[in-house]
Structure 1
Amino acid sequence: MVDAVVEPILEVSGLVKHYPLTQGILIKKQIGAVKAVDGVDFTLDKGETLGIVGESGCGKSTVAKMLVNLERPTAGSIKYKGEDITRLGGRALKAVRRNIQMVFQDPYTSLNPRMTVGDIIGEPYEIHPEAAPKGDRRRRVQELLDVVGLNPEYINRYPHQFSGGQRQRIGIARGLALRPEVIVADEPVSALDVSVQAQVINLLDRLQNDFDLSYVFIAHDLSIVRHISDRVGVMYLGRIVEIGKDEEIYDHPTHPYTQALLSAVPVPDPEARERRERIILSGDVPSPTNIPSGCRFRTRCWKAQERCALEVPMLAVPAEFRLAPGPAAHDSACHFAEEKRVVPPDDLGNRGA
């Protein structure tokens, strides 16, 4: 008997977001565009965590906003259970939004200072009244506070009465209120202390099992992403340049940019620091208004050749690895992909928790 093919819960294809640049006051003329996201493809399976990493400005947060429909894509599709949600509106979009929630980066600005914790967490029930009867909402909110590790008696307190880690727990509780299937976490621990980061990551890990959640986890800390993710996608200048299982990306990277990122990860062990090879990239990240031809990483890549300026590399398993199954046989957008261990074994480890 042939096993049934399981459809991804999210399928992103050719996702593009360009912000127009205009000049003129009365008559505006477009003179260019900021290509924040310029052709992103990935899938998310049920119960899976997909980590997305990359430098600031590479388009990670823009992808997150499009997944929850806070931004409309310029082109491409986002399919939730086979349905393209970019074409939805009104009640149909409202129903989908109930199943895809977001945890924001900054726990200080993502909570309304004039609302109590009870009102903040219970606000989704005002928008989706069918999710909880009116008389039952206070109890539901207190249960959510308990689930995220906060005292249910704090329901009448205001955000300024909580620490950063506690505020992020409130944001997570708000995201869980409607029992979604997918949570998009946009750098949820970057504004927190290291010890608090570990607590929040462990909380997200536990909630995934308890609520059968799927995560798109966006961060720039590679060690934290490795701890929580099943697969990892590396973004550079609006595109994913390498994607694979966490072991494939961290222990067997094939794209030069991924290798450079891994070489920059702080390693606390002095002996391990001496053993690893540090890769220093030349130049700055090109402007998203003027992206290089061909491979967009070629202006900083030590492997760049004439072909890199002429041909856009496809995100696929490199030809040299297709006939040799192994951890290096994963998608990489490089004409001259080559496996290279940058961090010695176990030095990156499962840090951050």
Structure 2
Amino acid sequence: MAEPARPAAPAEPAGPAEPVLEVTGLVKHYPLTQGILFKRQIGAVRAVDGVDFVLGRGETLGVVGESGCGKSTVAKLLCHLERPTAGTIRYRGEDVTRLSGRALKAVRRNIQMVFQDPYTSLNPRMTVGDIIGEPYEIHPEAAPKGDRRRKVRELLDVVGLNPEYVNRYPHQFSGGQRQRIGIARGLALRPEVIVADEPVSALDVSVQAQVINLLERLQREFELSYVFIAHDLSIVRHISDRVAVMYLGRIVETGTDTEIYDHPTHPYTQALLSAVPAPDPEARAHRDRIILTGDVPSPAAVPSGCRFRTRCFKARERCALEVPELAVPAEFRYAEGPVAHDSACLFAAERQNVR
């Protein structure tokens, strides 16, 4: 008689993913000058002012926040389209900010970008084949010259477009198809990291779902890591493993999707979640709405202490004097569960019924 099968041992929790990108103290200030012949700096726009995060292999980090909070500037810094004022961006342990020439070119091959607007990010005078194949002109070692046309056709097939479209121009495609072309261009060099700067914000809802599903499928097939920037909180939760909430150039709260969406502790995150429309009228009647007052401060005149204090419903005198650290709040330091995650608030507290 066969021995009865033993119950399977409980799976051990997976360890942290191997880090691909490590960002520490990232700063980007744009100088404000005065004068025509003799210019002198009178201030600076603090677009990004001390951002820290780690992106693991095969992981998706979602970045959310209001317009002007510095999300797109972070994306440009990661792809080295802008040079940081201070801080480090380490790819596989190597500081990208110190590289130049061939060394930088080699790293750029592994960090690609998908742009926000599919209507302006493609050259209207180039065919789809030339657009997707252009990275091979810059990095000829990625594909032999006689093999590039075949690779372009394969990429079109991978993103769900007919390979016969290779000789068409961008104006012959819809918005969703153009974004697929942009994704194919980003995949051409087989990168390890893709920075997606609001890749679905200009698309219809049904097309958004198609592009998001495509990105998830490609992530599994090519073991990609994403930095996914968006305004839509529901899309960010759907695709992200971890979420970082930005306000006025800094990350104010970060954690897993469950920690951020179901157990927010920073007042700004709670206000963002309460602004999301609720489709259920009964749930809408019982939710706790948070209405922020005042305008977002100018990044050229950042408030002292906590940057959110001028609009925060919890602000106290202490908030103007101390800069809150992005860490697990003291109140939850010895707590267990999803409430114990990093939050840059001196009076962090969990708040229910904001969604």
Same fold (TM over 0.5): yes
CA distance in 1 between counterparts of 2:174 and 2:345 reads: 44
The answer (yes or no) to whether the contact 1:259–1:342 under 8 Å persists in 2 is: no
Runs of 4+ in 1 over 4 A off after TM superposition: 3-7
The equivalent residue for 1:54 is 65
Q: TM-score, normalised by structure 2?
A: 0.95
| C-alpha displacement of 1:6 | 5.9
1:43-69 superposed Cα distances (whole Å, 9 cap, x missing partner): 000000000000000000000000000
The equivalent residue for 1:264 is 275
The equivalent residue for 1:239 is 250
Q: Does residue 304 of structure 1 match 2:315?
A: yes
The equivalent residue for 2:4 is none
Corresponding residue pairs, total: 342
Extract unaligned runs of 5+ from structure 2.
1-13
The equivalent residue for 2:87 is 76
CA distance in 2 between counterparts of 1:229 and 1:342 reads: 22
1:101-132 superposed Cα distances (whole Å, 9 cap, x missing partner): 00000000000000000000000000000100
1:233-253 superposed Cα distances (whole Å, 9 cap, x missing partner): 000000000000000000000
CA distance in 1 between counterparts of 2:55 and 2:232 reads: 21
The equivalent residue for 2:180 is 169
The more displaced of 5-14 and 59-68 is 5-14
Q: Does residue 33 of structure 1 match 2:44?
A: yes
| C-alpha displacement of 1:7 | 4.5
CA distance in 2 between counterparts of 1:7 and 1:74 reads: 27
SS at structure 1 position matched to 2:141: helix
1:283-302 superposed Cα distances (whole Å, 9 cap, x missing partner): 00000000000000000001
Q: Which amino acid counterpart does residue 302 of structure 2 have in structure 1?
A: I
The equivalent residue for 1:10 is 21
Partner residue of 1:249 out of 257, 260, 277: 260
The equivalent residue for 1:104 is 115
| C-alpha displacement of 1:343 | 3.9
The equivalent residue for 2:341 is 330
Q: Does residue 141 of structure 1 match 2:147?
A: no
Extract unaligned runs of 5+ from structure 1.
345-353
CA distance in 1 between counterparts of 2:158 and 2:264 reads: 37
The answer (yes or no) to whether the contact 2:17–2:59 under 8 Å persists in 1 is: no
CA distance in 2 between counterparts of 1:47 and 1:272 reads: 36
| C-alpha displacement of 1:342 | 3.5
Is the alpha carbon distance of 1:147 and 1:33 closer, same or farther for their aligned partners in structure 2, counting shifts above 3 Å? Answer: same
| C-alpha displacement of 1:274 | 1.3
The more displaced of 264-273 and 27-36 is 264-273
The answer (yes or no) to whether the contact 2:17–2:57 under 8 Å persists in 1 is: no
Q: Which amino acid counterpart does residue 111 of structure 1 have in structure 2?
A: L
The equivalent residue for 1:213 is 224
1:196-234 superposed Cα distances (whole Å, 9 cap, x missing partner): 000000000000000000000000100000000000000
SS at structure 2 position matched to 1:298: coil
| C-alpha displacement of 1:5 | 7.7
CA distance in 2 between counterparts of 1:247 and 1:259 reads: 14
Q: What percent identity do the matched residue pairs reach?
A: 85
Q: Does residue 226 of structure 1 match 2:237?
A: yes
1:19-56 superposed Cα distances (whole Å, 9 cap, x missing partner): 00001111001010000000000000000000000000
| C-alpha displacement of 1:268 | 1.4
SS at structure 2 position matched to 1:300: coil
Q: Which amino acid counterpart does residue 196 of structure 1 have in structure 2?
A: V
Partner residue of 1:294 out of 294, 298, 305: 305
CA distance in 1 between counterparts of 2:145 and 2:278 reads: 52
CA distance in 2 between counterparts of 1:189 and 1:169 reads: 11
The answer (yes or no) to whether the contact 1:13–1:77 under 8 Å persists in 2 is: yes
SS at structure 2 position matched to 1:97: helix
SS at structure 2 position matched to 1:38: strand
The answer (yes or no) to whether the contact 2:286–2:353 under 8 Å persists in 1 is: no
Is the alpha carbon distance of 1:41 and 1:113 closer, same or farther for their aligned partners in structure 2, counting shifts above 3 Å? Answer: same
